């Protein structure tokens, strides 16, 4: 597969450039600024784009390996200030691909899938793998790719950490039992709850949940005998936001930043270079049903990071009910497929209300619905007042312990999509 490597000297702009290159039907991969020329040699490299230089600046002064310019492929340096002039940069990149790199411009998602299947076969050989299936599209696509590559060498493990939404655990088990994925379901609800008991800090919660996940896998894998690989549905935004790109940690996505240092598996992460919308395209190619493809993203740590502060069984119960009502109303009104992600959050704010002429002092639920393409940026959705009114009225009437509902009007940035 012809590849353009994008060397990221520390600017988010490299993602836009990567997408530009892919939209010209050339596969692109982003690598950090300190990547060595030697590590690029195995790729079918047709060009290199260095992103993040200042005009006239020598990329080597920014830490670029001097051997990179000797690889014998065309090199383009883009300054981050070009960001504001997308049209010129579109044209610039297109000319570079067509005239200097002379690429075939015939890359498709089908080609990515086929190449990835071959890569996995080579990486894994006869060895066995486990995959943590969460029910979301990322881990499902990662599992299907590996299954296509090595069939029953793969065992999928669904860990019910107790932070799933209403009826979700049962639905996941039912859906994925239809595929030949050697699915094992583990009920670890008590264990996870005990692990984060009393923990209010979001990063600590994320890290504890991520680490516990791996421990559960290790235990299950040990029961299976020799297992060498762990398959994860890590996508590119997870990598960046967990600080493994050049940018600081925003939040530790549980399948990246939460990995313990003494991990006993080698990782297989076939989606590590894909954006969320591209994962959906891959899912369609792999034959996954629309219900999975259209499902809103759900974070690995689940409702635990949608409960602000300490997580308790009582709070989980409140949030499950409120979230279910909101999603139910979105579906009934036809809005569910029109928004990228929607959910309820249980804040730790309690306020005074009144019910049956009595004072109440109950929780505030926040509703959030966002438009996005890849989760890296987002806009809040202008849902109809009637829909919000209905959802709010039902939550206040049907969910005990809640006396106030608010709607989140924050874009990402400066907010993030999840509250923790
Ligand atoms: P944020 O909150 O970072 O979310 O703006 C961006 C997207 O990522 C999802 N998300 C996660 N997904 N593990 C995941 O698999 C995680 O730990 C995690 N945290 C956030 C979030 O739901 C949104 O779609």
Picking from 65, 76, 80, the residue whose alpha carbon sits closest to that of residue 28 is 76
Q: Take atom 18 of ligand 1 and give the residue whose Cα is closest.
A: 299
Q: Take atom 17 of ligand 1 and give the residue whose Cα is closest.
A: 253
- For domain 312-407, say whether CATH 3.40.390.10 is its number: no
254 lines ligand 1 (CB under 6 A): yes
> Could you tell me the fold of the domain covering 3-100?
Rossmann fold (3.40.50)
* Cα distances (Å, whole numbers) of residue 206 to 101, 255, 319: 43, 10, 18
375 lines ligand 1 (CB under 6 A): yes
Of the residues 196, 297, 372, which should be mutated to test ligand 1's pocket, given the most ligand atoms within 8 Å of the CB? Answer: 297
Helices and strands in the chain: count of H runs, count of E runs: 12, 13
Please give the angle made by the CA atoms of 119, 125 and 130, to the nearest 5 degrees.
85
Q: Take atom 4 of ligand 1 and give the residue whose Cα is closest.
A: 417
Same topology, domains 109-293 and 312-407? Answer is no
Q: Are 64 and 50 in contact (CB under 8 A)?
A: yes
257 lines ligand 1 (CB under 6 A): no
- What string of pLDDT tens digits covers the 420 residues of the chain? 899 999 998 887 888 899 999 999 999 999 988 899 999 988 899 999 999 877 777 767 777 899 998 999 999 999 876 555 666 778 889 999 999 999 999 999 999 999 999 999 999 999 999 998 988 999 999 999 999 999 999 999 999 999 999 999 999 999 899 999 999 999 999 999 999 999 999 999 999 999 998 889 889 888 999 999 999 999 987 777 666 554 556 666 655 545 566 677 899 999 998 988 899 999 999 999 888 898 999 998 999 999 999 999 999 999 999 999 999 999 999 999 999 999 999 999 999 999 999 999 999 999 999 999 878 899 999 999 999 999 999 999 999 999 999 999 999 999 999 999
Give CATH for domain 109-293: 3.40.50.620
Give CA–CA dist 61/337, Å, rounded. 47
Q: Which residue ranges make up each domain of the chain?
A: 3-100, 109-293, 312-407
Picking from 341, 300, 2, 264, the residue whose alpha carbon sits closest to that of residue 133 is 300
Give CA–CA dist 213/103, Å, rounded. 42
410 lines ligand 1 (CB under 6 A): no
Q: Are 311 and 209 in contact (CB under 8 A)?
A: no
| Bridging pattern class, strands 129-132 and 229-231 | parallel
**Ordered strands of the 154-160 beta sheet:** 184-187, 154-160, 129-132, 229-231, 266-268
Give CA–CA dist 256/238, Å, rounded. 7
Residue burial 146-177, b: 16+ Cβ < 10 Å; e: rest: bbbbbeebbbbbbbbbbbbbbebbeebbebbe
H/E segment holding residue 403: strand 402-407
Give CA–CA dist 99/350, Å, rounded. 62
Helix, strand, coil in percent for the chain, rounding step 5: 40, 20, 35
H runs (alpha helix) in 51-177 = 86-95, 109-124, 137-150, 168-177
Q: Are 51 and 6 in contact (CB under 8 A)?
A: yes
């Amino acid at each position: 597969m012809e590849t353009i490597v994008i060397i990221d000297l520390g600017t988010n702009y490299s993602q836009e450039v990567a997408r530009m290159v892919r939209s010209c039907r050339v596969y692109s991969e982003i690598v950090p600024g300190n990547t060595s020329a030697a590590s690029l040699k195995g790729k079918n490299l047709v060009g290199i784009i260095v992103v993040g230089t200042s005009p006239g600046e020598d990329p080597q002064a920014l830490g670029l390996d001097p051997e990179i310019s000797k690889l014998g492929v065309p090199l383009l340096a883009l300054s981050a200030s070009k960001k504001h002039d997308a049209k010129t940069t579109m044209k610039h990149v297109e000319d570079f691909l067509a005239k200097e790199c002379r690429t075939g411009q015939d890359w498709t998602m089908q080609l990515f899938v086929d190449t990835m299947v071959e890569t996995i076969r080579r990486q894994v050989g006869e060895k066995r793998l486990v995959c943590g299936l969460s029910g979301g599209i990322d881990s499902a696509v990662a599992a299907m790719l590996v299954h296509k590559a090595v069939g029953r060498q793969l065992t999928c493990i669904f860990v019910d950490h107790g932070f799933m939404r209403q009826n979700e655990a049962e639905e996941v088990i039912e859906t994925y039992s239809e595929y030949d994925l050697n699915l094992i379901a583990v009920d670890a609800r008590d264990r996870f709850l005990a692990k984060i008991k009393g923990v209010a800090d979001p990063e600590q919660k994320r890290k504890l949940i991520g680490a516990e996940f791996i421990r559960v896998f290790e235990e299950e894998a040990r029961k299976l005998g020799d297992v060498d690989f762990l398959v994860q549905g890590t996508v590119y935004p997870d990598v960046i936001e967990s600080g493994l790109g050049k940018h600081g940690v925003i939040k530790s996505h549980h399948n990246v930043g939460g990995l313990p240092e003494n991990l006993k598996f080698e990782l297989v992460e076939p989606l590590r270079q894909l954006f969320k919308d591209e994962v959906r395209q891959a899912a369609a190619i792999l034959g996954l049903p629309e219900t999975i493809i259209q499902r809103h993203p759900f974070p690995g740590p689940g409702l635990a990071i949608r409960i602000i502060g300490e997580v308790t069984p009582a709070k989980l119960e409140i949030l499950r009910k409120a979230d279910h009502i909101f999603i139910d109303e979105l579906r009934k009104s036809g809005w569910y497929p029109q928004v990228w992600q929607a959910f309820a959050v249980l804040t730790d704010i309690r306020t005074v209300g009144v019910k049956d002429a009595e004072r109440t002092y109950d929780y505030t639920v926040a509703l959030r619905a966002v438009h996005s393409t890849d989760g890296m940026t987002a806009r809040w959705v202008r849902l109809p007042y009637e829909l919000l009114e209905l959802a709010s009225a039902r939550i206040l009437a049907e969910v005990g312990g809640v006396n106030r509902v608010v709607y989140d009007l924050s874009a990402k940035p400066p907010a993030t999509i999840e509250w923790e």
